[in-house]
Chains A and B, each alone.
Chain A
C-alpha cells in the first residue's frame, strides 16, 4: 500500500480559522505541528485508532512506540527535561490512560511540561461502562496541572493549543486531553491558538522590584549567606543557570542544590557545596544549618531537604523565590517571598546588586564563613575507600566515579537518567554535572522504573549524545520492557546497573530502622542481565570485580549500540552521608560506624 498517496497536508496555513473540513484527528495533528511537536511517545489502541491512522498519513511528526504507557510519559518527561520543550504522549482509553497515571504524577511533582492525549469512548457511550472506558479526567485530576474531556468537535483545536500553553507556562506540569473517538473520526474545524488561552489562568513570572530590593539588602548584610537552588532553575532554561553562575560569582556566596537542581552550577565550581538534604554533603547541610541568610531559588523545602523542620536552618533570614506562590510559606515560613520565574529573579538580583552600595563589613565576614566551610569540606563526607586489588569487590561509589571519569574522557555530551534508590543518590553525589538539563531523575515522586524509559526519551531527543541510565537491578526491572523500544529504534542507550541484589535503599532503611530484618527486599530470581540484553538485540557486559570494571565501562562507551552493563557491587553498602529520619542537618550520619539510635518518631517518617 502506498502511504504517500494518503498524505495529509498538516503544514501551517495562513492565520485564522480554516474552513477546510478535516477530521478531528487531522485537526489534532495540525495543532501539534503548529505547536512545534516533532515526536510523540505512545501506544495505540481502539479509542485512538483514528489518530494513529492520521499519524500514518503524515510525515511531520515522528511516533516512538513504547512498550508500556507509563514508559511513554517518562520518555516524554526526559525529552522535555533535556530539551526544554513540551513532551507529548498519546495513549488509548481505559488501561492505556490509567497506565499513565504514575508518569503524570511524576511530571506533576517535578514540574515537567508534558501533554498527554488519551483516547476515550465516543461521547454517546460515556458513562455506560463501555469497553475500555475509564473516567480518565476524574482519575488524573489530582495527577495533572489541568485536564480536559473534549466534548465538541469545535473544541479540539482550542483545547489542544491551550493544553500546550498551560503545560509550559508558569510552573510547568502535565496536562491531559481526553479525546472521545467519535470526535476524532467526525469533522472538526481547525483554529489558531486563542489569544486569551484561558481567562482565569494568569501565572506571574515577573517578580516585584520591591521584594527583590529587600532580598538583596538582606544579602548585602549577610555574614554567612547561602544559595539553595532547585529544579526551578533548570525549568527556567539554560539562561537561568548562566545567570545563577554570574550571581554566585558576583556575590561570592556559597551555593548548594537540591537533587532536581543539579547541573545549574558546575559540580566542580569552588563555590558549589554539592547537594543538600538527606544524602547531601556535610558542608552543604552544615552550611544550611549555620547560615544567617538563606536564599532559596526555585526550590520548595521538600522534606528530603529540610529534615526535622523545627531545626531547619534555625535563625536564618530566609528568602524564597518560586514561580508558584503556593510554595512560599508552605513548609518553612520565610522573611521575603518572591513570586517569579527563576531567571528573571536572578537577573533582577544581579541588577539590584550592582546598583546598591556594598556593605563594607561584609567581605571579611564572608571570608570567615568560607573558612568554616573549608573546614567542613575536610571531613570529605563523600569519601570512601576502594580496595584496588583486581579481584576486590566493586564499591558502587567507585563504579560511578569511574563511569563519570571515563564518560567525561570521551568528550561527548552526556545525559544521565536514574532509577530510584541508593544508586540514584550515589549518582547525584559522584557523577559531577557541569551543565543543566543533563540530569534526568525522579525526585518528587521517587518512581522506580523511571530511568530506562527516560533514557529512551533523552536519546530520541539527542540521537548523537551519550545517554546512560544509572540503574539498580530492582528498579530497572520495573520498566525493562523498554529494551524492546531501544532495540526497535536502535537507540544506543547504556544501562549501567549497580547490581547489589537488594532493593538497596529499602535494605538500608531496614538495617537502620528495623534491626536488619530484610523483609522482602532481596532481589531473588534475578535474570541474567547479559543474556537479557542479548535477547533484546543489545550487548550485555558484566563486571564482577575491580579488575574488570574499567574494561567493561570502556567497552560500553565504545559500543555503538545499546548496552546493558551488569556491575556486581558490594551488597551491604549503605548510602552516606545521611540525615536519619527525624534528625536535624547538624546530626548527620557520616558512615556505618556512627551508631545513632533513630527515634520512634523518626521511624514513622517516610
Chain B
C-alpha cells in the first residue's frame, strides 16, 4: 500500500504568491530541496494593487507526490493559493517560443511554409535569418522546433507554461 508505484503524470502547479522579496526563491528552493522536478517555470506580477504574483511550474510526478507538492507549497508563508492541474483537470496551458532559423534558398522557403502551417509569425527577418514567434501547447512548440532543426534551427527561447483553469473556476 505504501510503496505502490503510481505512474507519474505531467502537471502544472499554479501558485498565487505575495509579491515580496524572496517569494520565488522560497518556492523553487522547496522544489530543489525536496527533490521535485521543475520542467518549466514562469513568474510575473498579476495583481499590482494587491501585490500578488503568479508562478506556474510544470512538473512530472505521481498523484501522491503532486498532493505533497501542493501541501508543501501551500504552507509557505507568502503563498495564497495553489492549484495542481493535470490532464484530468480542464485547463488551458500555453507557452510562447521565439525560434531563430538561419537558412537560405530552398530551406528558407520550407521554414516559412511550415511556420505558416503552425501559425508562427516571423517577428524578425534578415537576408539569412528569421525569428518566429509561436504560441501554443508545449507539444506544438516541440513539434515546430523539431521540424525547424534540419532547416537551420539556430536558437530557441521559450517562456515556459502559463496555465489557467477552464470555465468559471478560479484559483
Measured CB to CB, the residues of A under 8 A from B are: 137-138, 141-142, 145-147, 149, 151, 166, 171, 198-201, 309-310, 312, 324-326, 328-330, 332-333
Contact = CB atoms under 8 A, between A and B. Distances in A.
B2 A201 contact: no
B71 A200 contact: no
B74 A326 contact: yes
Contacts of B7: none
Contacts of A328: 71
Contact of B3 (A166, A309, A326): A309
Interface residues of B, number: 23
A201 B75 CA distance: 8
B8 interface: no
A137 B22 contact: yes
Nearest to B73: A326
Interface in B21-35: 21-22, 25-26, 29-30, 33
Which 3 A-B pairs rank lowest in CB-CB distance, beginning with the nearest?
A326-B71, A146-B77, A200-B80
Nearest to A326: B71
Contacts of A199: 18, 80
Given A141-B26, A326-B68, A329-B67, A309 B80 contact: no
Interface string B1-18: 111000000000000011
Nearest to B77: A146
Given A166-B77, A326-B72, A326-B75, A141 B29 contact: yes
A142 B33 contact: yes
Nearest to A203: B75
Given A199-B18, A309-B2, A333-B1, A145 B77 contact: yes
B44 to A, nearest CB: 17
B33 A324 contact: no
A58 B64 CA distance: 54
A200 B17 contact: yes
Contacts of A312: 2
B25 A198 contact: no
Interface in B53-95: 64, 67-68, 71-72, 74-75, 77-80
Contacts of B2: 309-310, 312, 332-333
Interface centre among B68, B77, B79 (most CB of A within 10 A): B77
17 contacts: A145-B77, A147-B22, A149-B21, A166-B77, A198-B18, A199-B18, A200-B17, A200-B78, A200-B79, A201-B77, A310-B1, A310-B2, A326-B71, A326-B74, A329-B64, A329-B71, A330-B71
A330 B17 contact: no
Contacts of B64: 329, 333
A146 B2 CA distance: 31
Contact of B77 (A151, A198, A310): A198
A200 B1 contact: no
Nearest to A199: B18
A326 B22 CA distance: 21
Contacts of B77: 145-146, 166, 198, 200-201
Contacts of B74: 325-326
B95 to A, nearest CB: 27
Nearest to A301: B2
A142 B21 CA distance: 15
Interface of B: 1-3, 17-18, 21-22, 25-26, 29-30, 33, 64, 67-68, 71-72, 74-75, 77-80
Contacts of B18: 198-200
A309 B3 CA distance: 8
Nearest to A327: B71
Nearest to A329: B67
Given A142-B29, A326-B68, A310 B3 contact: yes
A151 B25 CA distance: 18
Interface centre among B72, B75, B79 (most CB of A within 10 A): B75
A461 B162 CA distance: 52
A309 to B, nearest CB: 5
B73 to A, nearest CB: 9
Nearest to B50: A199
B64 to A, nearest CB: 7
A360 B113 CA distance: 79
B97 to A, nearest CB: 32
Contacts of A324: 75
A147 B29 CA distance: 14
Contacts of B67: 329
Given A147-B22, A326-B72, A332-B2, 15 more contacts: A142-B30, A145-B77, A171-B75, A198-B18, A200-B17, A200-B18, A200-B80, A201-B77, A310-B1, A310-B3, A326-B68, A326-B71, A329-B64, A329-B71, A333-B2
A199 B2 CA distance: 36
A549 to B, nearest CB: 45
B69 to A, nearest CB: 9
A287 B29 CA distance: 39
Nearest to B67: A329
Contacts of B1: 310, 333
Nearest to B68: A330
B75 A141 contact: no
B71 A325 contact: yes
Contacts of B68: 326, 329-330
A138 B25 contact: yes
B56 to A, nearest CB: 18
A325 B75 CA distance: 8
A149 B20 CA distance: 11
A178 to B, nearest CB: 11
Contacts of A329: 64, 67-68, 71
A333 B26 CA distance: 26
B65 to A, nearest CB: 10
Contacts of A149: 21-22
Contacts of B30: 142
B28 to A, nearest CB: 10
Nearest to B79: A200
Contacts of A325: 71, 74-75
A65 to B, nearest CB: 31
A428 B78 CA distance: 38
A147 B68 CA distance: 23
Contact of A141 (B17, B25, B72): B25
A199 B18 CA distance: 8
